[in-house]
Structure formats: structure tokens, C-alpha cells
Amino acid sequence: MVQMASMTASEFSSILNVSRETLERLKVYETMLRIWQNKINLVGPSTLDDVWRRHFLDSGQLCKFLGKATTVADFGSGGGFPGLVVAIISDLPVVLVESDKRKAVFLREVSRETSANTEIIEDRIENIKARPAEALTVRALAPVAKLLNTLEPWVSPGGVCYFLKGLNVEDELTDAMKYWDINYDIIPSLSDPLGSILCIREFYRV
């Protein structure tokens, strides 16, 4: 496999066409991520060598799919990917659900410093009263079958799920379709030639 050169902030900006102000906010985020990573494990340490591709582009590519969505919910937000990046780029209100207390504190700090329009809920998804959203985002949280079972109450009528997935997406879908009838698209990722965006528009229990 050919090793790609690390993406710069400028290259990221040109791909997603973000404003200078938005890029500066993301640079603040990057700085805080590197500082906090020394205290808590927010992302895989090796991914910091290519943070603009692996995390900011990977997350930010979702923004162009959100369309007219006015409510966004992100689950297992961790270091803020993808939900916090989506909030900063799109300026949409995003609910970030994260059960880890230290990560939730990090999300609040970055949200404050970047003026992101977020609400952080510090709890496990199953403990929270569902607040249906028009767009749901998830990265590296659980297989598709489990995600649909957990997130079903959170999807508003006409709502769409956007799951950032890797090589096993087809296998996960095969398993999920034992339990669900799914209307979906698989969109190639901008950040990873082996990755994809699983866009689920409808799903019903079999």
C-alpha cells in the first residue's frame, strides 16, 4: 500500500471549500486535540500524523449530505468526530452524545473555544430519552445492526443516518438485513480509499 503524504490544513480547506474563519476555528480544535491527547485517549495516536485527513476531512465530508436538516445528533462522539466538526463547518445545532466524562469535558471545552453550536449529553444512549433528529451521525461506534436497534427512536420521520464505515460495511449490512429492511446508499469516502459513508434513508424491522 502506498503511504499518502499527510494532508495540510490548506489542502483540507480547498477540498471542502471552507471559509478562512471556519478553518481558523478548526485549527483551534486541532491544537486542543493534541494537548488533550496527552491526557486522555481521544484518537489513535498514529492518526495525529495526518489529523486533517483522518479526522477533519473524514468528518467534514458529511456536511454536503445534510441538505435541509435542521437537527443533527451525533452518537459516541468521543473526540468530536464527526459531530463537532460538522457543527463547526455547517453551523447547524448538533447534539453530541458521549458517555465518557473526560471526553464530554473535552467536547464542552472545544465547543466553547470554537463557538460551536452544540449540546453535549453525558450519558449512555440507552439511558437517554430519545430526541428525534433529521440527521444522525456515527463513526466507529458499533456494527450496523446494533446501531439501527439503538438509534431507531432517534430518527425523525424522513430522517437519515450517516455512518462512517470501513472495509467491513458490506458484511455488516448483510448481518443487519437479517433483522431490517434497509434503503441505503454506500458513498465512497473522500478521506480513505477503503472507507465509505453508509447513508440509510429508511429501515424497518423484518
Q: Phi first, then psi: give them for residue 129, nearest 5 degrees.
A: -65, 125
Cβ atoms of residues 98 and 107 within 8 Å: yes
Predicted local confidence at residue 3, as pLDDT = 61
Domain positions in the chain: 58-205
Cβ atoms of residues 161 and 155 within 8 Å: yes
Cβ atoms of residues 79 and 103 within 8 Å: yes
**Where does 58-205 sit in CATH, by number?**
3.40.50.150
CA dist 147 and 104 (Å) reads: 21
Q: What is the mean pLDDT of each run of 10 residues along the chain (206 residues)?
A: 78 97 98 96 94 98 93 97 98 97 98 98 96 96 96 96 96 97 97 96 95
Predicted local confidence at residue 1, as pLDDT = 37
Predicted local confidence at residue 67, as pLDDT = 83
Pairing verdict, β 196-205 and 155-165: antiparallel
Cell of 199: 447513508
Predicted local confidence at residue 56, as pLDDT = 98
- Specify the DSSP element, H or E, that contains 91: none
